Structure 1
């Protein structure tokens, strides 16, 4: 199975730590990061897609992808 996640968060160190944690759990970057400005909060929001091959699992919609 190939799993896909799109991580989002504020443009700060916590977002970088979330992406780093995913990479250290076997996830790989997929495409370029994205940035947008949230006019309501006045903050920049980051996004980064990550993918992971999980050969021992079959996909089911109920699975928690963050726990793979």
Structure 2
């Protein structure tokens, strides 16, 4: 089964660490990163989709994706 997550956050080192941690945990980058200005907070925000192939099992929408 292929699972999908979208990581987002302020454009800072914490976001880079979040993506790096996902990669270390077996997730793979999916598509290009996004980058946009948040007019409310007046800060730049980043986003990156990641996917991971896990053993086939029933999908449970209540289960955290990081628990697969």
| TM-score using structure 2 length | 0.93
Does 1:8 pair with 2:27?
Answer: no
Determine helix, strand or coil for the equivalent of 1:55. coil
Does 1:66 pair with 2:66?
Answer: yes
Within 1, Cα distance between the matches of 2:67 and 2:47?
Answer: 19
- Correspondence list, 1:41-52, <5 A: 41-52=41-52
Aligned residues: 68
Q: Once superposed, what is the RMSD of the aligned Cα atoms?
A: 1.0
Where does the alignment leave 5 or more consecutive residues of structure 2 unmatched?
none
Moved over 6 A (4+): none
Determine helix, strand or coil for the equivalent of 1:21. helix
Within 1, Cα distance between the matches of 2:28 and 2:36?
Answer: 22
Cα deviations by residue, 1:22-67 (Å, 9 ceiling, x for unpaired): 0000000000000110011110010000000001533111110023
Where does the alignment leave 5 or more consecutive residues of structure 1 unmatched?
none
| TM-score using structure 1 length | 0.93
